[in-house]
Structure 1
């Protein structure tokens, strides 16, 4: 019997006729089941034992169980032990069902498909069943009988799904785990050896299967095709590409032998490849777990389709398949549905090849083959030259900045780009997913006894995860460069700095990740009266990294050299701070203290080890800010250092303020003159100083900007 909670979920899903509402409910229920393993086990038992459930009920049960498994898989991949325990618990329950003969043949196929659709290898225990079909496959001595059985199975599949390799592979993926391993190899070999070309394509896909028996059967079937004279030239071309995707060296050697034999028999590559037209390619930004989705609207001859890919950092190509379409209208509808689910960017073909190449390379480094559906995707999209690329951060940044323009910038210019990363959360909603929630994170935060140790522990976790975030930012840099975004340089600069060991506490976006990780943890606490109150002393992280309602503390008198001493550990000087404050006071739109103080603290704060020094630094800023306002109001006051060597330092401070408060500097308000001033400031930071600009033009412009500043 199903528990009441499962019945309620199934009833709600039956009533959710809108696809979006249905998907949202399904995800919510899947997450709820992850916290209720006993209910999930009861659902599994009902699914496994069911032999006569109504089709709709059976489908909803499989969807619900599959969604819970998918949530568990993602949790496991993200370092959460609860995901692994959930999957292990269900597989243990499945073993009990098999041992008690409660698993029906229909239930076995349903369970296998549910695991497969969740991106999990089907439980090996499913192959322990001995039904008539598997016994015939394993013990039958007459090849004709085996062929007859296979004809019946394959005939129904091909009639229903035509020539779509992805669909055929998906259906076999549900059925094969229920077959004993040796019979599985024989079945695959017989299927691949069938004369139609689609089975050669299926054999190539099976070469990427994680099951060694399936891979062996595929190689043997392809060899049988060669012996029978049914090895198509396209098959040879596909094998040549495929070998570079394989992590299994022994399998590569077998393929090389197969290719050499084909060449000796006179099987050459295709003389003319079919035309592949890519109407549109979209890709999401990389989320906090390292996942990225891509889709392409493809036209092969007169057949429209949509190729879908899922890449994940640390795993490579996690999923890939082709959805056939009956018409261009259906193709557009499918692509629109996919783009509604992701923060989609239109990307060129070259980017898709680069992203897939990086994922292939990363998978090989981890000893993981890509998903078999990538063969179908590569064929549909005409990616004949798809090869693994080095997935190192250095290699990714070289693709994102091939001319090294960001690397050639001055230290100050790169610093301004890094400071600008504080605005990424406002520009890219995907940053809502940029947080840590692994078991290591939970343990670190739960062990904290104060707000100070809470933050310190979180920084320690992030330092251990530096490589993850560096690679993730570099991959986003590559995407943004491909779409021509001005933010690409910022992502390149941040990734390069983190790679080179920059203090993560001095990197605004890492500050955001730190704060957001803490906030996510606080939100998930079961106890409302926990150790920390999210509304009291924790800064909000919904948009920028600045606390929204900070009031400036009262400042006592500054002693000579006191501020310079506090700036020194960060490598800054008073002229730099004067430039920064002048920039704040002359922005076209008024900058609130919280909006200019927070980025300044990102720069200076990490170098001030003592809490009292940080407090004192903040106390001294408002008087300096007020002094800057006074100088701007008085016509004869110097706004820019008189000493020429100090001008580059002052200009760098001004430009840092400009970048740190970019929303307050709309291009329309600045006009052509503003662009000219900006260029002069940038040149000054490199030592190219125009005396006329800094003695005459710039002071006038600064006072004009101050007078025209709008709230």
Structure 2
């Protein structure tokens, strides 16, 4: 079974093609989550790769699949989910087994080393080759260590050529191979490189000063000290060190850099900058997602050369990624900018905003002992962000610094309240809001312990009280983006951030209702086989066995829901002009039911819901049928139907944009808000049919 699942994953990857921005990343993300839920599959992928005597590009699918799993595991671990570490442990155990059985060659070690490095994970000891696998015996003789350096000279010459003289590309090539090197060799390679007189090696040392491993940072710092003593430390590198030392954790490596700077002052060696920054044409920044991650893209140009500088900042984690993409044409560059806008709702911001956001992220990372990724050096250099240093900001500080905060403070209390209330409409304008939920083990544990839907809701509200600062900070960061982009929602985000810290009842902050609801959704949907992006039609496409009489009623028994309410609720969902996704409407149905049904019945219940959704959609299109299906119920049943329909219309009011509403839609809402009567039945059905006709085009 596991083998066939891997084969299915490989087939899905093959079908997706190689478009870096198309279906392939989406497929990899889904497959990564699958591995996260089934860690044993990760070990089996390792076994498959090690069974290939000479891995080739044809095996790219297996490597991509494992890489997707490692990426998902890293993110899960950062977000407080034990499941992430479980997958990493399973994969590393498989590596140790393969090494012990002699099935892992040096080629395999290098492939795995690249995967671990690219996914920002510390490599396991099982990947390190033995000295005899790397350097011939002659190169290891203490009496003739120069032969080993000759080998390194050849290695560097080849890598520099492959990197086309780019220090960062050379750094990537070397660090990707580090996990496969014996530990003592890594330090030797760094020391050897930094000691070389070529300018590229001095620049390489700067990147190693930001290595996650403290011993690598220290070795690089010691090498730079030797260069200064030999008068081989360029002034521009010295200028970089003045700033870089503030990006480093407070340890022996940073102390060594401080010693270098003091020695340079005594020697009257002056820092100098001789690099001209590139021109920034446009800058886009996303709102932070629920995990605190934010993407920033900067379009750069120097003469005929174009690049996109990309940054990933994460709350509490720092600068998680920083790199550049070479663009062949202006159209390529524009395409990346447009994708950011379309896919993550990125907004136009300024260079001052980027400096501010990165400075705060630097401080976030250092608070955890984490330096930024080395690629930040190149991004800062190209953008001309001279003197960029960490800036420690508490959440109250972030809020106080916003112009939007001052605007809110100048408003009368009732307008302040209106801004907070308006947050219920944000998800309609900002796609990122859909990711605002708690997905940690701590949150899920609270829900797991609940004995009923109501107790789960209450327990989650209580737990969210401990997360006020986190969400206030998310809101403040989002407000900063919106304010910079001159978006009218900036004051609302600032108002909600203030309300969280001021202790306002969480239930009276609509966006926190979204967080609460979506957290329960995430808990319910914590299943790799659940696809939240499916439409009603897709979910009902391969309908299982037809519903048996009374089957849904039996599953609803013991809850406050009825079949009549469910049909009305679903009718209100399917006729909305703006599609309401299952992950938005399902919780109201699932929360009361899940604690009361056997887990083995869950899939059947989902199947029944989707079949009913399709049925009510069909009925809503034919007024006479809708009249018949409502009037054919008992008086109590009719009241329940109207209640369900009203609940859906009220809950998803933002799915009816004012600009697109017709006079028939407005009349429909008048009937809903005014209370149903039998006299309204025919008109009501006609209005629903009219809306369905417009929806279906």
Q: Same fold (TM over 0.5)?
A: yes
SS across alignment from 2:390: coil
Cα offsets for 1:169-193 (capped at 9, x unmatched): 2222211122222221111111123
| Equivalent residues of 2:113, 2:123 under 8 A apart | yes
Structure 1 pair 160–329 and aligned structure 2 pair: CA distance change class (3 A): farther
The answer for unaligned runs of 5 or more in structure 1 is 551-618, 623-659, 667-710
Aligned-pair CA distance for 1:303:
3.5
CA separation in 2, counterparts of 1:258 and 1:429?
48
Contact 2:405–2:491 (Cα < 8 Å) also in 1:
no
Aligned to 2:370: 368
Per-residue CA deviations over 1:529-582 (Å, capped at 9, x if unaligned) read: 79989998899895899999x9xxxxxxxxxxxxxxxxxxxxxxxxxxxxxxxx
What's the counterpart of residue 108 of structure 1?
109
- 1:456 matched to 2:458? The reply is yes
Offset at 1:332?
3.5
Q: 1:374–1:352: structure 2 CA closer, same or farther, 3 Å change rule?
A: same
In the TM superposition, what are the counterparts of 1:204-283 in structure 2 within 5 Å? 204-270=206-272, 272-283=274-285
1:44 Cα shift? 1.2
Change (3 A) 1:310 1:271: closer
Give CA-to-partner distance per residue, 1:122-141, whole Å, 9 cap, x none: 22332253344257777655
Q: How does 1:60-75 map to 2 (within 5 A)?
A: 60-75=61-76
Gaps of 5+ in 2: 531-551, 574-578, 589-642, 647-652, 660-690, 692-697
Alpha-carbon distance, 1:218 to partner? 1.0
Q: Quote the offset at 1:338 in angstroms.
A: 4.8
Deviation at 1:99, TM superposition (A): 2.4
TM-score, L = length of structure 1: 0.72
Counterpart mapping for 1:245-394 below 5 A: 245-270=247-272, 272-300=274-302, 303-394=305-396
- 1:173 corresponds to which of 175, 178, 198: 175
Q: For the structure 1 residues 535 and 202, does the alpha-carbon distance in structure 2 shift closer, same or farther, using more than 3 Å as the test?
A: farther
**CA distance 1:241–1:21, shift in 2 (3 Å):** same
1:55 corresponds to 2:57: yes
Aligned to 1:435: 437
1:96 — aligned with what?
97
Q: Structure 1 residues 498 and 182 mapped into 2: Cα distance closer, same or farther (>3 Å)?
A: same
Contact 2:313 2:321 in 1 (8 A): yes
- The 10-residue stretch of structure 1 (293-302 or 179-188) with the greater mean CA deviation from structure 2: 293-302
**Matched-pair contact (CA < 8 Å) for 1:498–1:504:** yes
| C-alpha contact 1:138 1:182 (8 A) present in aligned 2 | no
**Aligned-pair distance for 1:312?**
0.8
8 Å CA contact 1:477, 1:492 repeated in 2: yes
Separation in 1, partners of 2:409, 2:464: 25
Partners of 1:328 and 1:140 lie apart in 2 by 55
Assess, with a 3 A threshold, how the Cα gap between structure 1 residues 405 and 143 changes in structure 2: closer, same or farther: farther
Q: Equivalent residue of 2:312, what SS?
A: strand
RMSD: 3.5
Distance in 2 of aligned mates of 1:665 and 1:2? 50
Aligned to 1:310, what secondary structure does the other structure show? strand
Q: Deviations over 1:585-636 (max 9, x none)?
A: xxxxxxxxxxxxxxxxxxxxxxxxxxxxxxxxxx9xx9xxxxxxxxxxxxxx
3-state SS of the aligned residue for 1:321? Answer: strand
**Alignment TM-score, normalising by the size of structure 2:** 0.74
In 2, are the aligned partners of 1:440 and 1:461 still within 8 Å (CA)? no
Give the superposition deviation at 1:427.
1.2
Q: Residue 12 of structure 1 aligns with which residue?
A: 12
* Partner SS state of residue 405, structure 1: helix
* Cα pair distance change 1:505/1:485, threshold 3 Å: same
Q: Is contact 1:134-1:180 (8 Å) kept? A: no
**Shift in Å, 1:434:** 1.0
| Compared CA separation, residues 33 and 545, structure 1 to 2 (3 A) | closer
Q: How does 1:408-423 map to 2 (within 5 A)?
A: 408-423=410-425
Query: Residue 78 of structure 1 aligns with which residue?
Result: 79
Larger Rg: 1
* SS, match of residue 314 in structure 1: coil
1:84-131, CA deviations, whole angstroms, 9 ceiling, x for partnerless residues?
111112112212222233221111111111112222122233225334
* DSSP-derived class of the 2:364 partner: helix
Against the structure 1 CA distance between its residues 233 and 142, is the aligned structure 2 distance closer, same or farther, given a 3 Å change threshold?
A: farther
Task: Verify the 8 A CA contact 1:79 1:439 in the aligned structure 2.
Answer: yes
Structure-2 residue corresponding to 1:680: none
Q: Cα 1:519–1:36, aligned 2, differ >3 Å: closer, same or farther? A: closer
Sort the Cα spacing of 1:84 and 1:139 in 2 relative to 1 into closer, same or farther, 3 A: farther
Task: Name which of structure 1's ranges 461-470 and 277-286 shifts more when overlaid on structure 2.
Answer: 461-470
Give the SS at the match of 2:280.
strand
- Residues 625-680 of structure 1 show CA distances to partners (whole Å, capped at 9, x for unaligned) of xxxxxxxxxxxxxxxxxxxxxxxxxxxxxxxxxxx9999888xxxxxxxxxxxxxx
Deviation at 1:292, TM superposition (A): 0.6
Which residue is equivalent to 1:684? none
- Deviation digits for residues 381-421 of structure 1, max 9, x if unmatched? 11112111123112212332288232333332222211111
Structure 1 residues 663 and 23, CA gap change in structure 2 (3 angstroms): closer
Change (3 A) 1:143 1:30: same
Task: Please give the secondary structure, in 1, of the residue aligned with 2:128.
Answer: helix
Deviation at 1:228, TM superposition (A): 3.5
Deviation at 1:3, TM superposition (A): 2.1
Q: Does the C-alpha gap of structure 1 residues 25 and 533 become closer, same or farther in structure 2, counting only changes over 3 Å? A: farther
| Residue-pair matches, total | 562
Q: 3-state SS of the aligned residue for 1:103?
A: coil
Whole-Å separation in 2 of the counterparts to 1:502 and 1:446:
27
CA contact (8 A) 2:43 2:93 kept: no
Q: Bigger CA drift: 399-408 or 64-73?
A: 399-408
Q: Which residue of 1 aligns with 2:467?
A: 465
- Cross-structure match for 1:632: none
Deviation at 1:452, TM superposition (A): 1.7
Query: Counterpart of 1:507?
Result: 509
Q: Aligned runs of 1:609-628 on 2, under 5 Å?
A: none
Shift of 1:310: 0.7
Residues 60-82 of structure 1: CA deviation (Å, up to 9, x unaligned): 22111010111111122222211
Shift of 1:249: 3.4
Q: Which residue of 2 aligns with 1:642?
A: none
Structure-1 separation of matches of 2:146 and 2:455: 72
